[in-house]
């Protein structure tokens, strides 16, 4: 048992990233409380011993404060539905930030790369300015500026980890798009170009990195790019997935026009249209700062893809969709 096992680590969100943080903290012998609207284990967490699951409405200030009672660390891994970001994300994050501040807990936030905007193929580093051209990028910039200001003002001790597009156990967006089709020997579809370099971030690496950030006071007040494998084309990634599944690769791609057409009927696809620049040109993440500071390196693609295939194989599509509903 870790000598600091009396710490209470509260995680908002029981999806793939929140679950990965949970597992990283379990390896460290920490006390863990998982917060969600339902207050129960999720598809991503699975049945787990020694973890407290609690129900809370994180949008409600009093409910969020009850959820973090006794916390030493708070992890913000929750988010609204993709098409509700503009209306719901700022109040959600403000509620969680205020709750963490009220109990003087460290706040560790999960972020992505939208706030930087389209950097025209340059490797994305932490020192780049926020220049979002999209609605969701502007929301992300607003959220980042808010927690950074709160930290600078001494209101809360905060840090963020930023990752690129996810893949990993229970991440159903990639599961439905790539992993389930590959396992079934069907066609899997990338987004945009199959042949542009792209950084993907493994959810289990994300969980480990957020746990590391929570351990180091020297990390506070900064954004850190989470160690991710080398940039890879979507053609290479999908081929690895098919090989891990023991199937012959069958590859396709959803063009920007096709995404626009799909967006006429599917809110998630409609929201993805403005982010297509990530997939039609080079989109690469530089995480050398994190590795230099903390020594963590990303899981190699062959290992992480294999682990992800095995998770989806063990959780058939019909059962997984039912659990996630």
Q: Write out the DSSP string of 265-310.
A: T-HHHHHHGGGTHHHHS-B-B--HHHHHHH---PPPHHHHHHHHHH
Residue 110 lies inside a defined structural domain of this protein:
yes
Number of domains composing the chain: 2
Q: What mean pLDDT is predicted for residues 280-308?
A: 98
What are the backbone dihedrals phi and psi of residue 194, each rounded to the nearest 5 degrees, phi first? -80, -15
What are the backbone dihedrals phi and psi of residue 37, each rounded to the nearest 5 degrees, phi first? -65, -35
Cα–Cα dist 323/321, whole Å: 6
DSSP percent split of the chain into helix, strand, coil, nearest 5: 45, 15, 35
Where do we find the tokens 């972020």? 111
pLDDT at 1 over 60: no
Residue 1 lies inside a defined structural domain of this protein:
no
Residue 315 lies inside a defined structural domain of this protein:
yes
Q: What mean pLDDT is predicted for residues 278-306?
A: 97
- Tens of pLDDT, residue by residue over 138-195, are 999 999 999 999 999 999 999 999 999 999 999 999 999 999 999 999 999 999 999 9
Residue 291 lies inside a defined structural domain of this protein:
no
pLDDT, position 318: 74
> In CATH, what number is assigned to the domain containing residue 268?
3.90.25
Residue from 34, 23, 51, 39 nearest 169 by CA:
23
Q: Examine the domain organization and report whether 59 and 157 are in the same domain.
A: yes
More confident call, 258 vs 65: 65
- Tens of pLDDT, residue by residue over 76-104, are 999 999 999 999 999 999 999 999 999 99
* Weakest-pLDDT range from 24-38, 211-225, 269-283: 269-283
Residue 288 lies inside a defined structural domain of this protein:
no
pLDDT, position 5: 63
Q: Examine the domain organization and report whether 239 and 92 are in the same domain.
A: no
Residues 6+ apart with CB under 8 A from 66: 56
pLDDT, position 246: 98
**What percentage of the chain reaches a pLDDT higher than 70?**
97
Residue 108 lies inside a defined structural domain of this protein:
yes
Residue 142 lies inside a defined structural domain of this protein:
yes
Q: What mean pLDDT is predicted for residues 241-266?
A: 88
Q: Examine the domain organization and report whether 221 and 312 are in the same domain.
A: no
Q: What mean pLDDT is predicted for residues 105-130?
A: 98
Q: Which domain holds residue 245?
A: 172-199+230-283+302-324
Q: What mean pLDDT is predicted for residues 294-298?
A: 98
Q: Examine the domain organization and report whether 269 and 141 are in the same domain.
A: no
Residue 245 lies inside a defined structural domain of this protein:
yes
Q: Examine the domain organization and report whether 251 and 112 are in the same domain.
A: no
Read off the pLDDT band of 319 (50, 70, 90): low
Mean pLDDT of the chain: 95
Q: Examine the domain organization and report whether 104 and 243 are in the same domain.
A: no
The counts of H helices and E strands in the chain are 14, 13
């Amino acid at each position: 048992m870790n000598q600091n096992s009396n710490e209470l680590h509260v995680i908002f969100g029981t999806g793939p990233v929140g679950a990965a943080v949970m597992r990283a903290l379990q390896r460290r012998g920490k006390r863990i409380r998982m917060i969600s609207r339902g207050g129960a284990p999720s598809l991503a967490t699975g049945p787990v011993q020694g973890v407290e699951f609690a129900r809370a409405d994180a949008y409600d200030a009093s409910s969020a404060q009850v959820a973090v009672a006794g916390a030493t660390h708070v992890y913000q891994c929750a988010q609204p539905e993709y098409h509700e970001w503009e209306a719901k994300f700022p109040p959600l994050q403000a509620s969680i930030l205020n709750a963490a501040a009220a109990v003087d807990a460290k706040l560790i936030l999960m972020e992505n790369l939208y706030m930087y905007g389209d950097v025209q193929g340059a490797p994305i580093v932490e020192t780049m300015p926020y220049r979002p051209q999209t609605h969701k990028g502007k929301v992300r910039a607003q959220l980042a500026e808010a927690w950074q200001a709160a930290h600078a003002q001494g209101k809360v001790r905060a840090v963020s980890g930023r990752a690129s597009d996810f893949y990993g156990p229970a991440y159903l967006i990639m599961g439905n798009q790539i992993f389930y089709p590959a396992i079934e020997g069907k066609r899997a579809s990338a987004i945009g170009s199959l042949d542009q370099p792209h950084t993907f971030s493994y959810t289990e690496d994300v969980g480990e990195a957020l746990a590391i950030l929570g351990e180091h006071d020297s990390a506070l007040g900064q954004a850190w790019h989470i160690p991710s494998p080398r940039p890879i084309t979507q053609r290479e990634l999908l081929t690895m997935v098919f090989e891990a599944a023991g199937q012959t690769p069958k590859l396709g791609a959803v063009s920007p026009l096709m995404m626009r057409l799909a967006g006429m009927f599917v809110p998630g696809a409609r929201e993805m249209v403005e982010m297509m620049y990530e997939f039609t040109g080079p989109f690469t993440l530089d995480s050398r700062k994190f590795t230099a500071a903390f020594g963590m390196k990303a899981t190699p693609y062959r290992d992480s893809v294999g682990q992800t295939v095995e998770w989806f194989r063990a959780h058939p599509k019909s059962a997984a969709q039912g659990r996630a509903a």
